[in-house]
Amino acid sequence: MTDVQAFYGRWARLYDAVASLPFVGSWRARAVESLALSPGETIVEMGCGTGANVPHLRERVSPGGTVLGIDLTREMVDQARHHPDRAGDGVHYVQGDAARPPVTDADAVLATFVAGLFPDPEPVVDRWCDTVGPGGRVALLNFQRSEAAAAAPLNVAFEGFVRLSSPGSRLARDSQATAFERRVRAARERLAERTVDRRYETLAGGYLGLLSGRVA
Ligand SMILES: C[S@@+](CC[C@H](N)C(=O)[O-])C[C@H]1O[C@@H](n2cnc3c(N)ncnc32)[C@H](O)[C@@H]1O
């Protein structure tokens, strides 16, 4: 069992309660909107967790579309499967490694709050882009320290948040946040290299960054 599985396995229920809060839902809706999904398409969510994005995704690809959620942690996938509005026709979950996704063809890929968990994000983003192929869309939503001047005190809270919500928290608070941000930056840079028609926007007062694009 990996650190990720041990951590998210232990906290799956609590994670789901936080992940399902209404204000988080508005961020999720925006991330899904950025993919410009159409009915009948196939969307793969990498690191889908407890499936909180799935109702938004299913609404966009219905009728006839497919939502496939992939997550490493069985307890997270179990939470998703047992939610009445996150399961059913056209929705599938696989317990698997999003770094090597067990799928070769999709119209779009979504990864929310996941990119910072990969020690080596560039090849992972490459595989996601290869999964959708030219013309396919990929979107990454992640927390970050805000650059707004008034945000300095809250950035300390961000560092604590990253430490609490990251598996294998052996580094100091600031180093953990720095490592997390380096990974997110690397994932975004690779997505930027691989895509056209990109759009970057911040949400939640700058504490969230959403990058989406179409694979070249
Ligand atoms: C912070 S949660 C985000 C969950 C979901 N995307 C959301 O927005 O609520 C991170 C999730 O990524 C999953 N995860 C981490 N590394 C993974 C990997 N290599 N493959 C698949 N899932 C992974 C964890 O199990 C966890 O469910």
> How much is the pTM?
0.93
Backbone angles phi, psi at 41, to 5 degrees: -80, 165
Pocket test for ligand 1, best of 4, 74, 184 (most atoms within 8 A of CB): 4
**Correct CATH for 3-215 of 3.20.20.370, 1.25.40.10, 3.50.50.60, 3.40.50.150:** 3.40.50.150
In the chain, the DSSP E strands lie at: 42-46, 66-71, 91-95, 108-112, 137-143, 195-203, 208-215
Report domain extents, the chain. 3-215
Q: Is the pLDDT of residue 169 over 60?
A: no
Tell me how long the chain is. 216
Write the pLDDT tens digit of every residue in 136-150.
999 999 998 877 656
Position 171 scores a pLDDT of: 55
As a whole-number percent, the residues of the chain with pLDDT over 90 amount to 80
Atom 10 (ligand 1): residue with closest C-alpha?
114
